[in-house]
Amino acid sequence: MRRWGYKETHMQTLDFTVTENVQLTADIWRVRLAAPLCEHSEATCAPQVGQFVNVQIDGLFLRRPISVCDWEDGVLTLIYRVVGAGTEKLAQVQPGQVLNVLGSLGNGFTIVLAQRPLLIGGGVGVPPMYYLAKELVKAGQQPIMMMGFNTIDDVFYVEEFTALCRLTRVATVDGSFGVKGFVTGGLEEFDYDAVYACGPEPMLRAIDQTAKELAPGHMQLSFEARMACGFGACMACTCRTKMGYKRICKEGPILTREEVSWT
């Protein structure tokens, strides 16, 4: 029997079973979740790169949005930083427990035809880049990965990216690992024809300001907003763009350089 995937046009809530929940750094965890088994003949598919899921956590009213870090044969990987009540509870979840997951949400990255895509992740903006890097490699592209952290103790997934990417560079703000400085420093050293990025908003803005001119749609930035529903029903997450108002959960979280309007 195979595992349930997400139907392309049908978001849904599914009960996933936790297969592992491990600590990667002082405050970063990785949870793996197996989709329910099903005998459905209906075609199902994996989440798209850059999409996210909204995870229900026992005892808390709102779901928590987390990016898809990987999807392999119906097993979903999420990497999260423990920052508050919800992620604290998530870190206590044991293998075998069930989590209700609403997905898969958002527009996702559009994989553009490029020779040398540059992937940039800052902190918990790194995880979605993993799934993207995998799919880019499958599509015959050779991504460069730049990952940024505050300090050596925060660093995760360097080996995983090194195994996938043509080049993987790590920057730490204090210089304790890799290059010293922000992940956006030294962009000009690279030859690239597309940029995909996820991380704190100042990082995204710096990328927009320093990266060279690219073909339209070839710079895609992933944004965050406080959400309630995650599927477009409540308007909690709307932002202004050059192409009108967009719900980060629905018409986002990915915006192109051409649509972003910095405020």
Q: 66 or 133, CB closer to ligand FAD?
A: 66
CB of 122 to ligand FES, least distance (A): 23
Is 76 among the residues that bind ligand FAD (CB under 6 A)? no
- Rounded CA separation 212/247 (Å): 28
**Peptide bond before 47: cis, by omega within 30 degrees of 0?**
no
Is 226 among the residues that bind ligand FAD (CB under 6 A)? yes
Helices (H), 141-239: 158-164, 201-210
Is 138 among the residues that bind ligand FAD (CB under 6 A)? no
Is 60 among the residues that bind ligand FES (CB under 6 A)? no
Tell me, by CB under 6 A, how many residues bind ligand FAD: 21
Q: Which among other proteins, ligand FES, ligand FAD, none contacts residue 127 (Cβ within 5 to 8 A by kind)?
A: ligand FAD
Q: Which among ligand FES, ligand FAD, other proteins, none contacts residue 262 (Cβ within 5 to 8 A by kind)?
A: none
The phi, psi pair for 55, rounded to 5°, reads -100, 130
Rg of the chain (C-alpha set)? 18
- Rounded CA separation 68/83 (Å): 18
Cβ(89)–Cβ(57) under 8 Å?
Answer: yes
**What are the strands, taking DSSP E only, across the chain?**
2-3, 12-23, 28-34, 37-38, 52-55, 64-67, 70-72, 75-81, 98-105, 117-122, 144-149, 167-172, 179-180, 194-198, 219-222, 238-241, 244-247, 254-256
CB of 63 to other proteins, least distance (A): 6
Q: 72 or 88, CB closer to other proteins?
A: 88
Is 31 among the residues that bind ligand FAD (CB under 6 A)? no
Among 14, 31, 46, 66, binds ligand FAD (CB under 6 A): 66
The H-or-E segment that residue 127 falls in is: helix 127-138
Structure tokens at 54: 């909204």
Q: Which among ligand FES, other proteins, ligand FAD, none contacts residue 190 (Cβ within 5 to 8 A by kind)?
A: none
Is 127 among the residues that bind ligand FAD (CB under 6 A)? yes
Among 74, 117, 148, 253, binds ligand FAD (CB under 6 A): 253
Q: Which of residues 211-230 bind ligand FES (CB under 6 A)?
A: 227-230
Q: Which among ligand FES, ligand FAD, other proteins, none contacts residue 87 (Cβ within 5 to 8 A by kind)?
A: ligand FAD
Name the nearest CA neighbour of 62 among 249, 254, 251, 240.
249
Candidate segments 82-90, 107-115, 164-172, 188-196, binder of ligand FAD by CB under 6 A: 82-90
The phi, psi pair for 37, rounded to 5°, reads -75, 145
Write out the residues near ligand FAD by the rule CB under 6 A.
Answer: 52, 62, 64-67, 79-81, 83-87, 124, 127, 224-227, 253
Write out the residues near ligand FES by the rule CB under 6 A.
Answer: 227-230, 232-237, 247, 249-250
